[in-house]
Amino acid sequence: MLETTHFIDIDDISASELDRVLSRAAAIKAGDDETRLPRTTLAMLFEKPSTRTRVSFETGMTQLGGHALFLGPEDIQLGHGEPLSDTARVLGRYGDAIMARLFDHGDLLEITEHSTAPVINGLTDDAHPCQTLADLLTIREHVGAFENVQAAWVGDGNNVGQSFVLGCAMAGIDLTVATPPDYDMDDEVLAKAERLGRAPTVTTDPETALDGADVVYTDVWISMGQEGQRHEKLQSFEGFQLNESLLAGTDAQVMHCLPAHRGEEITGDVLEGEQSLVWEQAENRLHAQKGLIVELLDA
């Protein structure tokens, strides 16, 4: 069982709990852990679209013998004026856990204040910790033991990147982050990484980040809700695309949380190339979240 009730960012669990969740996920994936959660319901609240998060949680709950409910904003009274606090109170009384994908991170914290059931972050504008679990599982499987891994983040200092920074700090992965000057990670996230034991090296030069990297990770430049910033962001991210020229001379394996915008943050050749781990990463969302759910719900 985990100490925390809620999983709002990756550092809600300790480094040893992180190791336990990943080991549990690996055992479930290998068929060596047949834990089941009969009659367990996960309420899934979505303000933003999703393929992987929605389908991996729903499939995972089915495979564990439980059930997941998809609740889009228009499907429930939340989209028609009912306060979030009331929604949280009611969902927490029906479900065994709530997973929510929201814009405002503060709204997710508000759900935790009113739900009697555990709350899982399915992505907010600030964090994507379930993605980090899958990322770390993928690195351990395909890149190596965390203490020997040198990782690079190249791109936006966004939700996926921020949780990855914290996850690397907890796992002991040596990370360099390259972002354009106006799109860096939050100072608070970097300070937290330092407190967790390992702040990333920060640069605005992608080639510096790639120097010696075993794995390089990028994400979209225009996240959900940022469509109005498209023009200025495309200009600012020039030179940050993961393409064959940037990767020439490195043998870094390539990560992307997906969905990918081929021709923007990554080329189709790199995404589909031999060094790409993206499909393993996507699959690992399923296994990692099953590990999280069984540990969180004390099964």
Binding site for ligand CP (CB under 6 A): 50-53, 123, 131, 257-259
CA 71 vs CA 79, 83, 142: distances in Å: 10, 15, 35
Query: Among 11, 257, 281, 287, which one carries the catalytic annotation?
Result: 257
d(CA 223, CA 194): 26
Q: How many helices (H) and strands (E) does the chain have?
A: 12, 9
d(CA 214, CA 195): 25
The residue from 15, 27, 90, 224 that contacts ligand NVA (CB under 6 A) is 224
Q: Which is nearer to ligand NVA, 96 or 219 (CB)?
A: 219
Burial of 197 (0-12, 13-18, 19+ CB in 10 A): exposed
| Closest among 171, 67, 74, 188 to 126, alpha carbons compared | 188
131 known member of a binding site:
yes
**Residue 223, binding choice from ligand CP, ligand NVA, none, Cβ under 5 to 8 Å by partner class:** ligand NVA
The secondary structure of residue 41, as a DSSP letter, is E
Q: Closest separation between CB of residue 204 and ligand CP, Å?
A: 25
Clarify whether 241 is annotated catalytic. Answer: no
- Backbone dihedral region for residue 220 (phi beyond 0: left; psi -120 to 50: alpha; all else: beta): beta
Clarify whether 93 is annotated catalytic. Answer: no
**Residue 264, binding choice from ligand CP, ligand NVA, none, Cβ under 5 to 8 Å by partner class:** none
Query: Among 101, 140, 256, 287, which one carries the catalytic annotation?
Result: 101
Residues forming the site for ligand NVA (CB under 6 A)? 123, 158-160, 219-220, 223-224, 257
The annotation places the binding site at 50-53, 77, 101, 128-131, 159, 219, 223-224, 257-258, 285
The annotation places the binding site for L-ornithine at 159, 219, 223-224
Catalytic residues: 101, 128, 131, 219, 257, 285
